[in-house]
Structure 1
Amino acid sequence: MNIDFSRIEPYIPFMLEGIWVTLLFTLLSLIFGLIWGTCLTLMKISTIKPLRWFADFYTSIFRGTPLLLQLFIIYFSTPQLLQYDISPLMAGVLAFGLNSSAYISEIMRAGINAIDKGQREAAMSLGVNYSTMMLFVILPQAFKNILPALVNEMITLLKESSLVSVIGVQELLRRANIVTSQIYVTFEPLIFTGIIYYVIVMILAILARLLERRMRVSEA
């Protein structure tokens, strides 16, 4: 077996720089997806039927088509349709954020529906308006219930961020491919990149467990 990790040593700093690109991309996509997903959730539980129809249709579109197709449409079609030369990173954040919001909206809707109806009735009996009730009573409790699912969505975003390498974003996998093309070996750069992904995911999982534990303690 011709395996020699010393061959990639000069390129390790270059590959490690991709960590910050990957983390930035994941964070921006998650924030965008969380904000827009929350809006979609409020539409889905709204009493206004057109809003519910729009939110359900939106979710069906982004859950029913491949993420890579959505990425290609945003990146390659935006210059044609809007005469705007969108950057690869922005296209990736938009595609992943729009896609993630569809899943987050379903997660949040389930979390809100799991809250006892007595919470809403108590808030209404005290004269709390709907927006205040949702913002300060319902959503904080729902967030505690859906935290594990949100962490899982963040981990999924992190791993799927490798897809943006196909449009030129120099994240971890793209940098590994660049190293591969320069030293003409594939195993070592890809395994090294896989280890980095694994370590990041494990760190996120540990932090999520600590946060869940702290939230349980605060409730006790």
Structure 2
Amino acid sequence: MPKVPQNRELDRLRSTDPEWYSLEPGEPLWRVYFRSGAHPSRWNQFRTFGPTDARFDHQLEDRTDGHRAVMYLAQSPVTCLAEAFQKTRTIHRADRKPALVGFAVTSSLKLLDLTGAFPARIGASMGLMTGARSVARNWARALYAAHPEGQGFRYPSSMHANAVAIVLYDRADQARVLPRSPGFHKALDDPSMITVLKNAAREIGYLLR
């Protein structure tokens, strides 16, 4: 299990050459968002409240920085569904009115790449993706502070065979790289989605309701 970084280790993070991934326009991105419930959202809305129990929330525990925001994405619909419904391992088509949206950014984004050796080189490990989420959130805060040019992370999904997942931070939101409208946008309870959802649930071993 990677240890929680302390303030004195920020120098090590800054001095270790980062591994960057350039997310380019045209690369498909997928997101499940919820239009109802305690925190209804829009398809292009970053989440400003937190930290929640999500793995790479970088919001401060004392909530002293209200400008921090996150958006979790994936590079395939199945990975996106696996991540969004991992708590219950059940894809709920109607509860909280979930929708699947697909789009591409309009300009390139600079993401720290956690899919290779970089976690080990900074004293962590791939346990960042599978271990305690509180530890991963501390690393997220430290990496956010150490690399002010970074706009998010690219990381392997622990819920879908290490397929690519992405978290974008407020710096990406400030760059205004989201399109005016998505290329794909459907509610999960849309009848045309049933085959897609059945196939996804079968692939990842989730229930579908």
TM class by shorter-chain length?
A: under 0.3
Higher strand share: 2
TM-score by length of 1: 0.22
Q: Which has the higher helix share?
A: 1
